[in-house]
Structures are given as structure tokens and as C-alpha cells.
Amino acid sequence: MDTNYLIKEDKTLLDALKVINSIDDGPLVLFAVNDKNQMVGTLTDGDVRRALIAGCSVDDKLSKACHRNFNFLRFGETDTVENLHKQKKMKMKLVPILDSNNHLIDVINLERYYSRLPIDAILMAGGKGLRLRPLTESIPKPLLKVGDKAIIDHNVDRLIDFGVKNISVTVNYLAEQLEEHYSILHNDIKVNCIREPKFLGTIGAVQFVPQIINDTVLVMNSDLFTNIDYEDFYLHFVDNKADMSVAAVPYSVSVPYGIFELEGRNITGVKEKPLYNYFANAGIYLFKKSVLEFIPQDEFFNATDLIEKLVSLNKIVIRYPITGFWLDIGNKEEYAKANEFVKHLN
């Protein structure tokens, strides 16, 4: 929890101004707590200013200026992704999370984090990156730089931005480099590297993650470059009561010729230079934790195999259309495109 915004209720208005002045980057608001760490009010720089104009002294207790009727979410009850989404729409910047006894247990900074998703994320980073040779002869593809940081770090950082805290990376080819890369905390998050004993396809190595904490799991290729909205992806998954959701990107095929419509050998019509629109697999998947039981032990198994397995069992498998940018950095041309594209991002 970020303690920069906390202050004891017995402090003075001058103390409050000093704490507010120490906030380098973020909303200028404080959460007042009593000696039991129970939240009792909120205080902004504007509240202090108005109190002083009204005749209060800087030596008066901050309780004279703080708001007792404050916005919060209740841990385990209302601290859901849906309610955080509503908080964002209300333009709330800091959202306190209180337990049943009003103890302040967390502060969600919606200026720093887009959301707080209750998911475990697993990034698949075991491939050899053969189509990017010789770049990948001595370095695993996920550690190639796009802009000023590794491909995989773009993905890990975006997951962290959505409040994901349980992040694992499955490694195989040049595994020790990825293990060294994540040997220290990454943006205050411990990223766990899981060794894949042999190549097991695009999702088979998930079985080696020792503990899945949340009821929803996100699996993705580590060599993607995308700004997918993970909160919207998750809410779409939940709203549709899906067992699995597959992120998809639009893909169009333009045929430069006139195409015959046939019944046997008979021509029934002509489509002139038709355009066919499809959705392609983006390599990002959300599924219920219970789906893990359908991934076979110690067998080569792709994510597409899992999709087909669930469909055959009449499970609910849906697609989620990505509306932002997405690149699969699978070859030198896509790698160059990603490095050019990143120059135009914030």
C-alpha cells in the first residue's frame, strides 16, 4: 500500500500541508486514520486552504477540515473490477479499500494503475525465435529491445499497469538470461521464471507453474507488442460467462481477381476483386482456472489444441476483438516495424 497519502487524525493542518507538499507525483489528497488504522476522513490541499480562510489556525487539528463522508470500496465485497471501472468513470483518482472494520488496507491509484485485475498472468517465453536469427543466436527473442526496453518488458509492464501482481514467465531456450533478467523486482513486482523441461507447445508449459492464486488465468505469447485493454478483455470474459476467451485481431484478404461463384461446373456469378474479413488468433487467452485440467501432462500442446478441446466439450469459448495496435514480432520485418512504431508512443 502507498503510505504517502496517509496521515494520523491527531496531526495539525500544518502537518497535513507538509505531507501534501511532499507528494512528488500524484493527487494532492490525504487519508486520515486513527490510532487503530481505521479511516476517518479525507483531506485535500483545497480543504486546508478553505479552512485557513475560514479562520482556522495551522496549529488546529486536521479533523476541523477533513471530510467524514468519503468515497471507498469494501474489501471482499465491493472492491471488484466492475466497481473500479465505475470509479474511473467518476474521475476518482485514489480509491481507498477498507475492511469490515474500516481499517485502511489498500489505496488504489487510478492515475498510476488502470485497474486491479484478479488474474494470474503467464507469459510463454521458451521459443528459439528461429525466424529472427542471427539476432536470437545469443539472446532469447523476448529480451530483444523494442525502443529502450525488452519486448517482454513491454508486456509485463502493461500487465502491472492493470494491477496484475501474480506474473510468471515460462522459459526454455537461453533460460538463464531471462532468469537473470527477472532475478530482481520489476516495478516492485516479483516475476517468477518457470523452467520448461522440454518444448511443449504454446501452452503446455503452463502445467509447471506451481501455484495459481486467482480463479482466472491469462496466458500470452511474450513476443507480442500490443496495447490491449486488459480490463475490458476481463470484463468481456466475465459478462459473457465464458470458459475461455481468445483475443483476436482483424485480418483481411484481398483477392486481385474476379472470383467465380460455382454450382458444380456451372458459373452462377462473379465477385470482382472481393475482400474477405476474418479474425486471427492474437496469442492472448483468458480462461477459468478449472480449464487447466484439460492441458495434458508432459505432452506437446498448443493453445489452439486447448480451444478445440473446449469446443468439443461444448464449453463457452468466445473471441475478444482487439481494437488497438497489435504486432506479433515473429520475423525481422515485424521487429523493425515494432521499433519504428514505438517511437510514436508516449
Q: What is the DSSP secondary-structure string of 183-239?
A: SS-BTTB-EEEEE-SS--TTTGGGGG-S---SSEEEEEETTEEE---HHHHHHHHHH
Where residue 13 sits, what CATH number does that domain have?
A: 3.10.580.10
Residue 153 and residue 87 share a domain: no
Residue 98 and residue 220 share a domain: no
In sequence order, what are the beta bridge partners of 157? none
Residue 328 and residue 248 share a domain: yes
Q: Which of 192, 240, 219 is nearest to 295 (CA)?
A: 219
Residue 294 and residue 152 share a domain: yes
pLDDT of residue 2: 62
The answer to whether 217 and 289 have CB atoms below 8 angstroms apart is yes
| Domain end call among 77, 109, 141 | 109
Residue 135 and residue 83 share a domain: no
pLDDT of residue 289: 95
* pLDDT mean across residues, the chain: 89
Q: What is the pLDDT of residues 193-220, one digit of tens each?
A: 999 888 888 999 999 999 899 999 999 9
Write the single-letter amino acid at 120: D
Q: Confidence class of residue 230 from pLDDT cuts 50, 70 and 90?
A: very high
Distances (CA, A) of 4 to 101, 153, 311: 22, 27, 49
270 falls within a domain: yes
Q: What is the domain range of residue 297?
A: 119-344
pLDDT of residue 1: 55
179 falls within a domain: yes
276 falls within a domain: yes
| Domain end call among 109, 130, 145 | 109
114 falls within a domain: no
Residue 72 and residue 123 share a domain: no
Residue 49 to residue 58: CA distance in whole angstroms = 10
Residue 305: phi and psi, rounded to 5, are -65, -40
Q: What is the pLDDT of residues 308-343, one digit of tens each?
A: 999 999 999 999 999 888 988 878 888 888 888 887
pLDDT tops 80 at residue 192: yes
Where residue 254 sits, what CATH number does that domain have?
A: 3.90.550.10
Residue 151 and residue 271 share a domain: yes
Residue 141 to residue 128: CA distance in whole angstroms = 7
Q: What is the pLDDT of residues 231-273, one digit of tens each?
A: 999 999 999 999 999 999 988 888 888 888 898 888 999 998 8
The pTM score is: 0.85
| Domain end call among 109, 133, 167 | 109
Q: What is the pLDDT of residues 65-120, one digit of tens each?
A: 888 888 899 988 888 888 888 998 888 888 999 998 999 888 888 888 888 899 99
Helix (H) or strand (E) holding 233: helix 230-239
Residue 293 and residue 181 share a domain: yes
The answer to whether 37 and 29 have CB atoms below 8 angstroms apart is no
% of the chain surpassing 70 pLDDT: 99
Residue 91 and residue 38 share a domain: yes
Q: What angle do CA 50, 51, 54 make, to 5 degrees?
A: 85
Residue 192 and residue 97 share a domain: no
Burial (CB < 10 A; 0-12, 13-18, 19+), residue 328, is middle
Please tell me the total count of domains within the chain.
2
